[in-house]
Structure 1
Amino acid sequence: MSSAEPRRIVLFRHAKADWPQVADHERPLADRGRKDAAVAGLKLAETGIGFDLALCSTATRTRETWKIAVQELPHRPKTIYEERIYDASPGELIALLNEIPDDVQNVILIGHNPGIQGLADVLSVAAEPEARERMSRRGFPAAAFAVLSFDGSWKSLEPGTATLLDYWAPSE
Protein backbone atom coordinates (compact mmCIF):
# COMPACT_ATOMS: atom_id res chain seq x y z
CA MET A 1 0.00 0.00 0.00
CA SER A 2 1.24 3.38 -0.92
CA SER A 3 1.78 5.90 1.85
CA ALA A 4 0.02 8.42 -0.43
CA GLU A 5 -3.16 6.31 -0.34
CA PRO A 6 -5.76 7.85 2.00
CA ARG A 7 -6.47 6.01 5.21
CA ARG A 8 -10.03 5.03 6.04
CA ILE A 9 -11.74 5.02 9.41
CA VAL A 10 -15.20 3.56 9.85
CA LEU A 11 -16.96 4.66 13.02
CA PHE A 12 -19.57 2.02 13.82
CA ARG A 13 -22.06 2.40 16.66
CA HIS A 14 -23.19 -0.83 18.30
CA ALA A 15 -26.61 -2.17 17.33
CA LYS A 16 -29.74 -1.79 19.49
CA ALA A 17 -29.22 -3.17 22.98
CA ASP A 18 -31.68 -4.74 25.36
CA TRP A 19 -32.31 -3.36 28.87
CA PRO A 20 -32.18 -6.37 31.22
CA GLN A 21 -31.29 -5.96 34.87
CA VAL A 22 -27.52 -6.00 34.33
CA ALA A 23 -24.77 -3.40 34.51
CA ASP A 24 -24.64 -1.11 31.45
CA HIS A 25 -21.36 -2.64 30.27
CA GLU A 26 -22.99 -6.09 30.20
CA ARG A 27 -26.15 -5.18 28.22
CA PRO A 28 -26.69 -7.63 25.32
CA LEU A 29 -28.19 -6.92 21.93
CA ALA A 30 -31.95 -6.92 21.48
CA ASP A 31 -33.47 -9.10 18.73
CA ARG A 32 -33.68 -6.03 16.47
CA GLY A 33 -30.03 -5.28 17.23
CA ARG A 34 -28.94 -8.72 16.02
CA LYS A 35 -30.86 -8.20 12.76
CA ASP A 36 -29.48 -4.68 12.27
CA ALA A 37 -25.91 -5.84 12.97
CA ALA A 38 -26.17 -8.40 10.15
CA VAL A 39 -27.54 -5.78 7.72
CA ALA A 40 -24.81 -3.35 8.79
CA GLY A 41 -22.24 -6.05 8.07
CA LEU A 42 -23.59 -6.40 4.54
CA LYS A 43 -23.47 -2.62 4.07
CA LEU A 44 -19.91 -2.53 5.42
CA ALA A 45 -18.93 -5.21 2.88
CA GLU A 46 -20.49 -3.08 0.12
CA THR A 47 -18.09 -0.23 0.95
CA GLY A 48 -15.27 -2.38 -0.46
CA ILE A 49 -12.95 -1.32 2.36
CA GLY A 50 -10.47 -4.00 3.37
CA PHE A 51 -10.07 -3.47 7.10
CA ASP A 52 -6.64 -4.12 8.53
CA LEU A 53 -7.75 -3.62 12.12
CA ALA A 54 -10.93 -3.54 14.19
CA LEU A 55 -10.94 -1.74 17.53
CA CYS A 56 -13.97 -2.82 19.54
CA SER A 57 -15.24 -1.76 22.94
CA THR A 58 -15.26 -4.50 25.56
CA ALA A 59 -18.98 -3.93 26.28
CA THR A 60 -21.19 -6.95 25.52
CA ARG A 61 -23.34 -5.11 22.97
CA THR A 62 -20.35 -3.93 20.92
CA ARG A 63 -18.69 -7.35 20.97
CA GLU A 64 -21.97 -8.97 19.85
CA THR A 65 -22.48 -6.36 17.12
CA TRP A 66 -18.99 -6.95 15.74
CA LYS A 67 -19.27 -10.75 15.98
CA ILE A 68 -22.40 -10.64 13.78
CA ALA A 69 -21.30 -7.89 11.36
CA VAL A 70 -17.83 -9.29 10.66
CA GLN A 71 -19.35 -12.53 9.36
CA GLU A 72 -20.57 -10.55 6.32
CA LEU A 73 -17.12 -9.20 5.42
CA PRO A 74 -14.94 -10.95 2.83
CA HIS A 75 -11.90 -10.65 5.12
CA ARG A 76 -11.84 -10.81 8.93
CA PRO A 77 -9.44 -8.16 10.24
CA LYS A 78 -7.35 -8.45 13.36
CA THR A 79 -9.63 -7.42 16.23
CA ILE A 80 -8.53 -5.75 19.45
CA TYR A 81 -11.05 -5.44 22.26
CA GLU A 82 -10.21 -2.14 23.92
CA GLU A 83 -11.76 -1.12 27.24
CA ARG A 84 -10.82 2.54 26.66
CA ILE A 85 -13.51 2.81 23.94
CA TYR A 86 -16.34 2.31 26.45
CA ASP A 87 -17.68 5.71 27.55
CA ALA A 88 -14.87 7.51 25.68
CA SER A 89 -15.01 11.12 24.56
CA PRO A 90 -14.04 12.09 20.99
CA GLY A 91 -10.67 13.31 22.31
CA GLU A 92 -9.99 9.99 24.04
CA LEU A 93 -10.91 8.13 20.84
CA ILE A 94 -8.56 10.31 18.79
CA ALA A 95 -5.77 9.55 21.29
CA LEU A 96 -6.45 5.83 20.84
CA LEU A 97 -6.42 6.14 17.03
CA ASN A 98 -3.13 8.09 17.26
CA GLU A 99 -1.54 4.90 18.72
CA ILE A 100 -2.21 2.81 15.60
CA PRO A 101 0.96 1.74 13.76
CA ASP A 102 1.42 3.35 10.35
CA ASP A 103 1.48 -0.01 8.54
CA VAL A 104 -2.27 -0.18 9.26
CA GLN A 105 -4.24 1.47 6.45
CA ASN A 106 -7.96 0.96 7.23
CA VAL A 107 -9.60 0.75 10.66
CA ILE A 108 -13.09 0.13 11.96
CA LEU A 109 -13.88 1.36 15.46
CA ILE A 110 -16.95 -0.20 17.11
CA GLY A 111 -18.17 1.90 20.01
CA HIS A 112 -20.86 3.93 21.69
CA ASN A 113 -22.62 7.25 21.54
CA PRO A 114 -22.15 10.06 22.22
CA GLY A 115 -18.45 9.38 21.54
CA ILE A 116 -18.81 7.86 18.07
CA GLN A 117 -21.07 10.62 16.72
CA GLY A 118 -18.96 13.29 18.38
CA LEU A 119 -15.82 11.82 16.81
CA ALA A 120 -17.42 11.77 13.35
CA ASP A 121 -18.42 15.43 13.77
CA VAL A 122 -15.05 16.56 15.17
CA LEU A 123 -12.90 14.77 12.58
CA SER A 124 -14.86 15.59 9.46
CA VAL A 125 -14.92 19.28 8.69
CA ALA A 126 -15.12 18.35 5.00
CA ALA A 127 -17.85 16.00 3.77
CA GLU A 128 -19.61 14.61 0.77
CA PRO A 129 -22.83 16.68 0.86
CA GLU A 130 -25.22 13.70 0.72
CA ALA A 131 -23.38 11.88 3.52
CA ARG A 132 -23.36 15.00 5.72
CA GLU A 133 -27.08 15.59 5.06
CA ARG A 134 -28.00 11.97 5.91
CA MET A 135 -25.92 12.04 9.10
CA SER A 136 -27.36 15.41 10.13
CA ARG A 137 -30.92 14.24 9.50
CA ARG A 138 -30.60 10.80 11.12
CA GLY A 139 -28.16 11.52 13.94
CA PHE A 140 -26.22 8.39 14.82
CA PRO A 141 -28.75 5.67 15.73
CA ALA A 142 -27.80 2.17 16.82
CA ALA A 143 -25.95 0.18 14.10
CA ALA A 144 -25.13 3.33 12.07
CA PHE A 145 -21.67 3.87 10.63
CA ALA A 146 -19.71 6.71 9.07
CA VAL A 147 -16.85 6.27 6.60
CA LEU A 148 -14.08 8.84 6.89
CA SER A 149 -10.85 9.35 4.98
CA PHE A 150 -7.66 11.22 5.83
CA ASP A 151 -4.10 11.61 4.64
CA GLY A 152 -1.03 11.25 6.79
CA SER A 153 0.09 9.14 9.70
CA TRP A 154 -2.21 7.97 12.48
CA LYS A 155 -0.28 10.25 14.84
CA SER A 156 -1.32 13.21 12.67
CA LEU A 157 -5.06 12.49 12.98
CA GLU A 158 -6.71 15.39 14.80
CA PRO A 159 -9.96 17.39 14.67
CA GLY A 160 -10.76 18.63 11.19
CA THR A 161 -8.31 16.40 9.31
CA ALA A 162 -10.76 13.87 7.85
CA THR A 163 -13.48 13.89 5.21
CA LEU A 164 -16.83 12.21 5.70
CA LEU A 165 -17.24 10.04 2.61
CA ASP A 166 -20.31 7.98 3.45
CA TYR A 167 -22.88 7.36 6.14
CA TRP A 168 -25.38 4.54 6.64
CA ALA A 169 -28.04 3.88 9.26
CA PRO A 170 -30.68 1.15 9.46
CA SER A 171 -34.23 2.12 8.58
CA GLU A 172 -36.55 2.71 11.51
Structure 2
Amino acid sequence: MTAERTLVLMRHAKSSWKTNDPDLARPLSPRGTRDAVVAGQILAPLPFDLVLVSPAARAQQTWQTLQMGGAGAAQVVTVDALYHARTPGLIAALHQLPEQAHRVLVIGHEPTLSDTIVTVAAPSPSRDAVASRFPTSGIVVLSVPTAWDALGSQSTTIAAYEVPRG
Protein backbone atom coordinates (compact mmCIF):
# COMPACT_ATOMS: atom_id res chain seq x y z
CA MET A 1 0.00 0.00 0.00
CA THR A 2 1.35 3.40 -1.00
CA ALA A 3 1.34 6.12 1.65
CA GLU A 4 -0.59 9.21 0.63
CA ARG A 5 1.55 11.97 -0.81
CA THR A 6 1.12 15.72 -0.94
CA LEU A 7 1.92 17.72 -4.06
CA VAL A 8 1.88 21.49 -3.82
CA LEU A 9 1.91 23.45 -7.07
CA MET A 10 2.67 27.15 -6.70
CA ARG A 11 2.88 29.89 -9.27
CA HIS A 12 5.83 32.21 -8.64
CA ALA A 13 5.05 35.47 -6.84
CA LYS A 14 4.37 38.71 -8.74
CA SER A 15 7.34 39.80 -10.82
CA SER A 16 8.51 43.23 -11.83
CA TRP A 17 7.91 44.53 -15.33
CA LYS A 18 10.02 47.63 -14.57
CA THR A 19 13.20 46.11 -15.92
CA ASN A 20 15.03 45.69 -19.17
CA ASP A 21 16.19 42.25 -18.08
CA PRO A 22 15.29 39.23 -20.21
CA ASP A 23 12.27 37.24 -19.04
CA LEU A 24 14.40 34.63 -17.27
CA ALA A 25 16.02 37.35 -15.13
CA ARG A 26 12.90 39.32 -14.10
CA PRO A 27 12.91 39.73 -10.29
CA LEU A 28 10.02 39.83 -7.86
CA SER A 29 8.16 43.09 -7.42
CA PRO A 30 7.74 44.53 -3.91
CA ARG A 31 4.18 43.13 -3.85
CA GLY A 32 5.52 39.73 -4.93
CA THR A 33 7.96 39.73 -2.03
CA ARG A 34 5.19 40.57 0.45
CA ASP A 35 2.91 37.89 -1.00
CA ALA A 36 5.67 35.25 -0.89
CA VAL A 37 6.33 35.91 2.81
CA VAL A 38 2.63 35.28 3.52
CA ALA A 39 2.76 32.16 1.34
CA GLY A 40 5.74 30.94 3.38
CA GLN A 41 3.68 31.35 6.55
CA ILE A 42 0.90 29.28 4.99
CA LEU A 43 3.35 26.57 3.87
CA ALA A 44 5.41 26.51 7.09
CA PRO A 45 3.35 23.65 8.63
CA LEU A 46 4.18 21.49 5.58
CA PRO A 47 7.93 20.75 5.69
CA PHE A 48 8.80 19.54 2.21
CA ASP A 49 10.92 16.53 1.38
CA LEU A 50 11.69 18.06 -2.00
CA VAL A 51 11.21 21.42 -3.73
CA LEU A 52 11.53 21.75 -7.50
CA VAL A 53 12.07 25.32 -8.69
CA SER A 54 12.18 26.87 -12.15
CA PRO A 55 15.48 28.61 -12.94
CA ALA A 56 13.67 31.93 -13.56
CA ALA A 57 14.81 34.61 -11.11
CA ARG A 58 11.22 35.26 -9.98
CA ALA A 59 10.74 31.56 -9.12
CA GLN A 60 14.09 31.33 -7.32
CA GLN A 61 13.31 34.50 -5.36
CA THR A 62 9.85 33.13 -4.54
CA TRP A 63 11.46 30.09 -2.88
CA GLN A 64 13.98 32.25 -1.01
CA THR A 65 11.19 34.49 0.26
CA LEU A 66 8.96 31.53 1.20
CA GLN A 67 11.75 30.50 3.55
CA MET A 68 11.65 33.96 5.17
CA GLY A 69 7.99 33.19 5.94
CA GLY A 70 8.88 29.85 7.51
CA ALA A 71 8.67 27.31 4.67
CA GLY A 72 11.36 24.64 4.70
CA ALA A 73 12.64 21.68 2.73
CA ALA A 74 15.07 18.80 3.05
CA GLN A 75 16.20 19.22 -0.56
CA VAL A 76 15.80 21.96 -3.19
CA VAL A 77 16.52 21.34 -6.87
CA THR A 78 16.50 23.85 -9.72
CA VAL A 79 14.91 22.14 -12.73
CA ASP A 80 15.71 23.95 -15.97
CA ALA A 81 12.86 22.20 -17.79
CA LEU A 82 10.29 23.88 -15.51
CA TYR A 83 10.86 27.20 -17.27
CA HIS A 84 9.46 26.01 -20.61
CA ALA A 85 7.62 22.87 -19.48
CA ARG A 86 4.10 22.13 -20.63
CA THR A 87 1.67 19.85 -18.82
CA PRO A 88 2.85 16.52 -20.32
CA GLY A 89 6.45 17.41 -19.46
CA LEU A 90 5.59 18.40 -15.90
CA ILE A 91 3.58 15.23 -15.34
CA ALA A 92 6.47 13.18 -16.76
CA ALA A 93 8.84 14.90 -14.31
CA LEU A 94 6.45 14.17 -11.43
CA HIS A 95 6.43 10.49 -12.45
CA GLN A 96 10.19 10.48 -11.80
CA LEU A 97 9.96 11.79 -8.23
CA PRO A 98 11.68 9.58 -5.66
CA GLU A 99 9.27 7.35 -3.76
CA GLN A 100 10.70 8.52 -0.42
CA ALA A 101 9.54 12.09 -1.20
CA HIS A 102 6.08 12.27 0.36
CA ARG A 103 5.64 16.05 0.35
CA VAL A 104 6.77 17.93 -2.77
CA LEU A 105 6.51 21.61 -3.78
CA VAL A 106 6.85 22.75 -7.39
CA ILE A 107 7.34 26.47 -8.09
CA GLY A 108 6.70 27.24 -11.73
CA HIS A 109 4.77 29.17 -14.33
CA GLU A 110 1.49 29.60 -16.12
CA PRO A 111 -0.25 28.19 -18.04
CA THR A 112 1.50 24.91 -17.22
CA LEU A 113 0.57 24.82 -13.54
CA SER A 114 -3.16 25.45 -13.93
CA ASP A 115 -3.34 23.07 -16.90
CA THR A 116 -1.62 20.38 -14.83
CA ILE A 117 -3.96 20.95 -11.88
CA VAL A 118 -7.01 20.71 -14.14
CA THR A 119 -5.60 17.49 -15.62
CA VAL A 120 -4.69 15.63 -12.42
CA ALA A 121 -7.35 16.89 -9.99
CA ALA A 122 -10.82 15.42 -9.62
CA PRO A 123 -13.64 17.84 -10.47
CA SER A 124 -14.36 20.37 -7.70
CA PRO A 125 -15.18 24.05 -7.26
CA SER A 126 -11.48 24.71 -6.50
CA ARG A 127 -10.45 23.04 -9.75
CA ASP A 128 -12.96 25.21 -11.61
CA ALA A 129 -11.54 28.33 -9.92
CA VAL A 130 -7.98 27.38 -10.93
CA ALA A 131 -9.14 26.70 -14.49
CA SER A 132 -10.55 30.21 -14.79
CA ARG A 133 -7.63 32.02 -13.11
CA PHE A 134 -4.48 30.95 -11.27
CA PRO A 135 -2.87 34.20 -10.09
CA THR A 136 0.68 34.86 -8.99
CA SER A 137 1.49 33.25 -5.63
CA GLY A 138 -1.44 30.86 -6.14
CA ILE A 139 -1.02 27.64 -4.16
CA VAL A 140 -2.83 24.37 -4.76
CA VAL A 141 -2.34 21.49 -2.33
CA LEU A 142 -3.12 18.13 -3.94
CA SER A 143 -3.67 14.87 -2.07
CA VAL A 144 -2.05 12.09 -4.10
CA PRO A 145 -3.24 8.60 -3.05
CA THR A 146 -0.97 6.80 -5.53
CA ALA A 147 2.72 6.36 -6.24
CA TRP A 148 4.21 9.28 -8.18
CA ASP A 149 4.52 7.21 -11.34
CA ALA A 150 0.76 6.54 -11.26
CA LEU A 151 -0.17 10.23 -11.24
CA GLY A 152 -2.63 10.81 -14.04
CA SER A 153 -5.98 12.19 -15.12
CA GLN A 154 -8.19 13.04 -12.13
CA SER A 155 -5.99 10.93 -9.81
CA THR A 156 -5.73 13.58 -7.08
CA THR A 157 -8.01 15.77 -5.00
CA ILE A 158 -7.52 19.42 -4.15
CA ALA A 159 -7.07 19.69 -0.39
CA ALA A 160 -6.57 23.47 -0.41
CA TYR A 161 -6.42 26.42 -2.79
CA GLU A 162 -4.94 29.68 -1.49
CA VAL A 163 -3.95 32.99 -3.03
CA PRO A 164 -1.73 34.69 -0.42
CA ARG A 165 -1.63 38.47 -0.35
CA GLY A 166 0.72 40.50 1.84
Q: Give the TM-score of the pair, scaled to structure 2.
A: 0.91
CA apart distance, 1:155:
1.0
Alignment of structure 1 residues 141-160 onto 2, 5 Å: 141-160=135-154
> What amino acid is the match of 1:78?
Q
Q: CA RMSD in A?
A: 1.9
Aligned length: 165
2:31 matched to which residue of 1? 32
1:68 aligns with 2:65: yes
Q: Relative to 1, partners in 2 of residues 1:40 and 1:98: Cα closer, same or farther, differing over 3 Å?
A: same
Q: Relative to 1, partners in 2 of residues 1:133 and 1:119: Cα closer, same or farther, differing over 3 Å?
A: closer
> What amino acid is the match of 1:7?
R
| Contact 1:126/1:162, CA 8 A, preserved across alignment | no
CA apart distance, 1:52:
0.4
The SS at the match of 1:36 is helix
Q: In structure 1, how many angstroms separate the alpha carbons of the residues matched to 2:71 and 2:120?
A: 28
2:116 matched to which residue of 1? 119
CA apart distance, 1:150:
1.3
Q: Relative to 1, partners in 2 of residues 1:114 and 1:29: Cα closer, same or farther, differing over 3 Å?
A: same
Structure 2 residue ranges without an equivalent (≥5): none
Q: In structure 2, how many angstroms separate the alpha carbons of the residues matched to 1:86 and 1:114?
A: 11
| Contact 2:118/2:130, CA 8 A, preserved across alignment | no
CA apart distance, 1:49:
2.3
Alignment of structure 1 residues 130-141 onto 2, 5 Å: 131-132=126-127, 134-135=129-130, 139-141=133-135
Identity of aligned residues (%): 33
